[in-house]
Structure 1
């Protein structure tokens, strides 16, 4: 039996806790974090909570003094024990406003749901079989104050994921409203060309990924990393492509449409950054 946490109380999975007046259901009025946990503890939690708090400020939540990272940490670890997910697990922390209409919210305080699921033992290892991706062009990512946070208005990503499933891709690349590379449905994207690492800048509308930030920081001493505008032509001409997120760390992309990629540098980067934490 699996359990979840709603506003500090434990419920059995499937039990109803949100009513029809919820602004989360009506408007997607909220945001979320997806966090990996190992040995009963969340990884990179300071970075996740910093992004969450920044997102709440952007969405104009009123954050009470008792709503703190320490409080959420304790409730996450308690839920992991309750669910017996203390080995390796995925946590979803959703924060949202309560009930009300568009102009008459009951209040602007954060409500929250914490869920957890077990992950495979090999989660986070380098994928010897490269991913196959496609480019989703029907709905674009905007470049605005909401772009870098993980808010609950996820329709472009949902539609892209449906396209990926139909086309039998492992993931779909998202474009921004300038038709440049943004990210994918679940990851940030990096290119390698002639030994230089490139990734879309945050101004291009991509999620401010926790693993994206770690990769850029950890590579700074030995690699040239450029955050910039990346076009479809740049993608096609790249030597290597890899994706990053907090759950699987880093994955090599073998093919995008009709273009294939090697993984020589990607393997070196993976071993340098992740060999000591697996």
Structure 2
């Protein structure tokens, strides 16, 4: 089922047209959300990020766009699809009209749901080789930190990875610093130090990135650093892993000739699942 502005439709229903601003100009935002046992995981963080992003893009936030209202609409859509655990995409886009300058700042939304087999985050330890994607670069600015529909570099990078037998690629900014993976934030482990690129390098302001930073800062064994990562640093690392709201943590097994361990990722995914469980009702 698909929820369009509160109305439920079958997935093959045609309810958008060629004037949609998300299609025409990428004038849209989205949140990828994990729902477990009909509870939206890290929902407050997703909601606050969405509201902040809408303000930055000068979208008009409807009066009924409360956390409670959108939560109810997500759960209504899941119930209609008979789902308890799901990957949810909440898309918000400006209403039709105008060229680059919109006729209105009012928004519409779509909620899509897809079955998730695993209840909590599961660490996938299968082979996962990466490479740098250097055809295009991420801008180190505020727009790059938002989860907008402008994902062309991620699309072309994904095609490059497929053509060359890689499972993922890392993106660089104009200063040739490593920013993130195609589908999530990057963390690098060197001894007891865990490093992730700072937001001002242009990386996505990820929800699980935020949660892991909080976890690591409370972990007596590790020191968290938000500093720039160069491509040369990658081969000195003990571990590399990717994070996003759906997979949680995805270890990288190989970058060029360097192979990596998963020990720290195993420790952290346990703690990530612990705080995810705290979101569930007793």
The normalised TM-score by structure 2 is: 0.93
Q: Choose which of 90, 94, 102 in structure 2 pairs with 1:93.
A: 90
1:146 and 2:143 correspond: yes
Task: Output one character per residue of 1:156-202: Cα deviation in whole Å (capped at 9) or x when no partner.
Answer: 11111111122222211111111110111111100001210000000
Task: Give the distance between the partners of 2:101 and 2:202, measured in 1 at CA.
Answer: 30
Q: Choose which of 31, 34, 41 in structure 1 pairs with 2:32.
A: 34
Q: Is the 2:42–2:276 contact (alpha carbons within 8 Å) kept by the matching residues of 1?
A: no
Three-state SS of the structure 2 residue aligned to 1:152 is: coil
Q: For structure 2, which runs of at least 5 residues remain unmatched after alignment?
A: 278-282
CA RMSD of the aligned region, Å? 1.5
Counterpart for residue 218 of structure 1 = 215
Task: Give the distance between the partners of 1:53 and 1:96, measured in 2 at CA.
Answer: 13
Counterpart for residue 280 of structure 2 = none
Task: Give the distance between the partners of 2:127 and 2:67, measured in 1 at CA.
Answer: 36
The normalised TM-score by structure 1 is: 0.94
Q: Is the 2:197–2:203 contact (alpha carbons within 8 Å) kept by the matching residues of 1?
A: yes
Task: Give the distance between the partners of 1:103 and 1:216, measured in 2 at CA.
Answer: 37
Counterpart for residue 187 of structure 1 = 184
**1:54/1:164 CA distance change after superposition, 3 Å:** same
Counterpart for residue 269 of structure 1 = 268
Counterpart for residue 113 of structure 1 = 110
Q: Is the 1:123–1:248 contact (alpha carbons within 8 Å) kept by the matching residues of 2?
A: no
Three-state SS of the structure 2 residue aligned to 1:79 is: helix
Counterpart for residue 177 of structure 1 = 174
Query: By how many angstroms is 1:132 displaced?
Result: 1.5
Counterpart for residue 53 of structure 1 = 51
Query: By how many angstroms is 1:103 displaced?
Result: 4.7
Task: Give the distance between the partners of 1:168 and 1:118, measured in 2 at CA.
Answer: 28
Name the count of aligned residue pairs.
Answer: 275
Three-state SS of the structure 2 residue aligned to 1:36 is: strand
Query: By how many angstroms is 1:267 displaced?
Result: 1.9
